Structure 1
Amino acid sequence: MAITTGYKNFIPQLWSARLLSHLDNALVALQLVNRDYEGEITAFGDTVKINQIGNVTIKDYTGNDIDAPEELDSTQLALVIDQAKYFNFAVKDIAKAQANVNLMDAAMARAGYGMASVVDTDIFSEIAAQAANRVGTTAKAIDVEVANAYDLIVDLGVTLDEKNVPRAGRKLVLPAWYFGLLSKDARFTRNFEILANGVVEGGIVGGFQLLMSNNLKKETGGVVHVVGGTTQGMTFANQVVETEAYRPEKNFSDSVKGLNVWGRKAVQPNCLVDFIIKPKA
């Protein structure tokens, strides 16, 4: 909906110097990915080739001649920039001139947040789809209650330990209701604080830095895909390839349109976990 005010209906006293704050989700998915190849993309449809070297064989040394050097296996992964979203909005001149706020800047901020939220949701869904470590299923989600909420996270950490996933930098993204259960367990600090970026200060359980988000993938019946791991698991590349201010031909407006493209690839699925849960009835 365009922001506009008819001249005859304009009442200066009703304009405010402040904008109403929105109740936004914390955007945290970018804390679960690496962005090592981001500088190599320029447009939608680009593909970045990622080479991965196989294991090196360790052999006994007897003092005699050693074997000829082995040829190392090399696999190639493709990071495809196959996601694209755009925005296109107008702000009428009369509203911009009469208001005591910069509506265009505010509208751009809302467009930026909306775009980031879409990316956030997409990354969570892709991690859930590609994770090699999966606990529970959509049909048989793990029931979570106060009695087991803490222990389930500890067990999840052991699962990654057994896969040789580095402990450094492990993170786990939980829905808000899970923290309500954890806060009732004496083993979880009661002094935790959820910051604006979704990070939970004081919230280390089972080796995981805990994060909170309402953008996690959800299924029917209250089922939620909790995702986590380390940034080694998934790479992400994003580029705003077009941003253009223009004047619509049949309108007295300032308009802005923009195009954002991105791609994501699970490069180490063993570093990713999909924990499928629901609150116990």
Structure 2
Amino acid sequence: MAYSSFSYQNPGSSSFVPEIWDGALLTKFDPLLVWASKICTNRKYEGEIRKQGDTVHINSLSTPTVGDYTLPEGMTAQRPEMVEQKLAITEAKYLQLLVEDIERVQAAGAMESPINQQMVRALAREADTFMGRVIASAATPMPSVKVTAGNAPQALYSAVLDMMLALDSHDIPDGRYVVVSPRVKRHLVEHPAIANAGAYGEAGVTANGVVARLAGFTVLSTTAMPEGSDIVAGHSEFATFASQFNGFREGLSEKYRANFVDTLHLYGGKVVRYPGLDTPLADRTYDETVPSKGIVKAAVEWPA
């Protein structure tokens, strides 16, 4: 009997377009972020991110001195001084997918399959958990919120107002956020001020975990709360998230009869210090063990 010899032929892709995958990934990825979203962080850094271990730079402007105008002294010009802070790219997370027909998957929508969406969720969760730890570790602790069975909505609402006052006292500008745990959200939304807030129930309000807008805060909720923190409030100017997806690649799997598609997510985060709010050291750096005045946090003591 004669046998025919067949070898598996997988010539790879002739029409793979990385930009299609990049765009689909960002469209799915960004709305999943809370801590690393532009509501809670900024992207104001300089430098390119090519690999883990790279450093980018954040420049903050020192506060000028206001002078008294008199005759004949007139005015004395001041040269603005920049205070440079370095942000290390410490994280490198990858996403690799196996696809048997890359052209078909690309045409159908690169990130539409359930498994691809779950992988993107996992990437977002990693980045968010990381950035939440960065922000909360530098926040100024406030007294714990003591909750009883009957006062939960009011106690939690009052805690948010106390955070508003703490940020007001340091002239933190409008555009603030407050991130709460799901358990805090569950009781906070019972308070009339939250239940009646204009954004609550608004179409699309759940993007980036947004619950409502209240008292100058965008209220967000996430399960990626740092340990020991149930409520964290601040402003996006006080934390920088530097992130870069290192482009999609396509190739032949050595193990399976399929193509692989992968990308590398490189990122890092830092709480930014500001002249006038934070005291620089002699070498023009800051003691980063000192809590930031632009971010506050509190734990909740729940009834047994």
Cα deviation code 1:115-170 (max 9, x no counterpart): 11111111111100122x3214xxxx43332341111111110000001101x211
User: Could you tell me which residue of structure 2 aligns to residue 189 of structure 1?
Assistant: 195
Mapped to 2, the partners of 1:200 and 1:104 lie a distance apart of: 26
Where do 5+ consecutive residues of structure 2 fail to align?
1-30, 274-291
Give the secondary structure class of the aligned counterpart of 1:224: coil
The equivalent residue for 2:241 is: 236
Q: Residues of 1 paired with 2:69 and 2:51: CA distance? A: 51
Question: Residues 51 and 224 (structure 1 numbering): CA distance in 2 closer, same or farther, change over 3 Å?
Answer: closer
Residue identity over aligned pairs, in percent, reads: 26
Match of 1:209 in 2: 218
Partners of 1:246 and 1:225 in 2: how far apart?
A: 44
How many corresponding residue pairs? Answer: 240
Cα distance in structure 2, aligned partners of 1:224 and 1:108: 31
Q: Is 2:179 aligned against 1:173?
A: yes
Contact in 2 for aligned 1:172/1:226 (Cα 8 Å): yes
Cα distance in 2 for residues equivalent to 1:28 and 1:216: 10
- The TM-score, its normalising length taken from structure 2, stands at 0.68
Quote the residue 2:118 is aligned against.
110
1:26-50 CA distance string (max 9 Å, x none):
5322120111237743332222222
Distance 1:57 1:77, change over 3 A: same
Counterpart residue identity of residue 178, structure 1? V
Residue 63 (str. 1) matches residue 68 (str. 2): no
Distance in 2, matches of 1:245 and 1:200, equals 39
Q: Distance between the aligned counterparts of 1:165 and 1:79, measured in 2? A: 23
Unaligned runs of 5+ in 1: 1-24
- Report the counterpart of residue 10 of structure 1 in structure 2: none
How big is the shift at 1:108?
A: 3.4
Aligned to 1:13: none
- Distance across 2 between alignment mates of 1:156 and 1:102: 44
Q: Which residue of 1 aligns with 2:279?
A: none
Is the contact made by 1:128 and 1:225 (CA closer than 8 Å) also made in structure 2?
no
> Which secondary structure state, in structure 2, belongs to the residue aligned with residue 114 of structure 1?
helix
Q: Which TM-score applies when normalising by structure 1?
A: 0.73
Deviations 1:179-218 (A, max 9, x none): 22223334433573383311124x41x3212111111113
Q: CA RMSD in A?
A: 3.0
**How far 1:264 sits from its partner (Å)?**
1.3
**Distance (whole Å) between structure 2 residues aligned to residue 251 and residue 102 of structure 1:** 22
* 8 Å contact from structure 1 (residues 235, 267) kept in 2: yes
Residue 166 (structure 2) aligned to one of 159, 162, 182: 159
Q: What secondary structure, in the 3-state scheme, does the structure 2 residue paired with 1:32 have? A: coil
Residues 27/279 of structure 1: CA separation in 2 closer, same or farther (3 Å cut):
farther
Q: Is the 8 A contact 2:181 2:225 kept in 1?
A: yes
Whole-angstrom distance in 1 between the partners of 2:63 and 2:76: 16
The corresponding residue for 1:250 is 255
Provide the secondary structure at the position in 1 that maps to 2:246.
strand
Aligned 8 A contact 1:27 1:213 in 2: no
The Cα shift of 1:248 comes to 2.0
The amino acid across from 1:160 in the alignment is: L
Say yes or no: does 1:50 pair with 2:61: no
The counterpart of 2:294, out of the listed 271, 275, 279, is 271
Structure 1 pair 226–182 and aligned structure 2 pair: CA distance change class (3 A): closer
Task: Describe the shift of the 1:276–1:199 C-alpha distance in structure 2 as closer, same or farther (beyond 3 A).
Answer: same
User: Amino acid of the residue matched to residue 199 of structure 1?
Assistant: V
Structure number with higher strand proportion: 1
CA drift of 1:57 comes to 1.8
